[in-house]
Amino acid sequence: MKRTVLFVLLSTASILGMLWFSSFGTISYSLGEIFEILIGNSSGTASSIYLNLRLPRLLVAFLIGSGLAVGGNGLQLTLKNPLADPYIIGISAGASFGAVLSLFLREVSRLDLNMNTLAFAFALFSSFLTYTISRRGGRIPITTLVLSGVIVSFLFNAAVTFLVVFAWRNVITLHFWSLGSLSGATWNDVFKLTPVIFAQYGIFAVIHRKMVIMAAGEEHAITVGVRPELLKFLVFFTVSIVSAVAVSTAGLIGFVGLVIPHMIRLAFGADSKLNLPATALLGGLFLVICDTFARTLFQPTELPIGAVTALVGAPVFIFLLRSKEVAKDG
């Protein structure tokens, strides 16, 4: 009963929070004005700005936050690693390399390749490389998978450093992208993200019970009929696709997939039926809040959203770690 009430409160906070935080910005809106715009009773420049700039950015923030949080939850359960998140498999480093490569090619050869496309391609390639390196005789040892992700990240980060030396004129642009930004979010991004995020949620909803069983150990999972290697591959592949799309859309945004699953497990437990939807809601709301601070705190200057998530997420994560230690000591 307590969890149900908490979930209802979280759902209500997510809906009202999205509307409220969308009212802040260079142009401010009252909740009444937003309601009039959404039901089509308002027109003009302010209405156009909200519908074509503010609203798609809000939805992109919520979708990416939700997707990263759900992905992090799936990885932490399946890999039985509390520090696992969508970037542990080398996706961020691969995406960074793709972005730098597009700038480098534009600088040295005038070959204008889309940054988002290359970031997406190399994000997928890096996750495939991590999976291939960690595969041992048809099995994917969890420790090997994590270490492979670290190795792949170092490899691509080294390549990024090498290319940046030659494309130094674009370092500022690259640095801003590497910390994430939703400033260019459009309805096309919403349409691109929606099916991918919902597909991940649907898949994880079906296999959630098996992921919880995996969190108790592979040996236990095998005894109850779960196929660990198939489950790890499915989770790994799904998270890779979602993370690649998210990174190619908004750059690198950390801490969402790491912190949010811990908060939800403390409140709802890992085996609760409300765990997955609560993770999706809180992850989305968290990134909406961070993006609001990013675009309004120092107007007209905009902060990289990844810097905001780190500033908010790091203290929260430290608090969660300390709380768990205190609980264990008690």
In the 3-class helix/strand/coil scheme, how is 262-322 assigned residue by residue?
HHHHHHHCCCCCCHHHHHHHHHHHHHHHHHHHHHHCECCECCCHHHHHHHHHHHHHHHHHH
Specify the 3-state DSSP secondary structure of 136. strand
List 135's β-bridge partners, or say none: none
Report the candidate in 230, 225, 81, 93 with the shortest Cα–Cα distance to residue 144: 81
Q: Quote the pLDDT of residue 173.
A: 64
Q: Quote the pLDDT of residue 261.
A: 92
Q: Give the CA dihedral 158, 250, 86, 275, nearest 10 degrees.
A: 160
d(CA 238, CA 145): 16
What does pTM read for this prediction? 0.89
Residues of the chain with pLDDT under 50: 325-330
Asked whether the beta carbons of 104 and 163 are under 8 A apart, the reply is yes
Cβ neighbours of 316 (radius 10 Å): 16
Q: Quote the pLDDT of residue 175.
A: 67
Q: Quote the pLDDT of residue 286.
A: 95
194-224 pLDDT, tens digit each: 999 999 999 999 999 999 998 888 888 888 8
List 139's β-bridge partners, or say none: 136
127-183 pLDDT, tens digit each: 889 888 888 776 777 778 888 888 998 899 888 888 777 765 556 666 666 788 898
d(CA 113, CA 119): 10
Specify the 3-state DSSP secondary structure of 82. coil
Q: Quote the pLDDT of residue 169.
A: 57
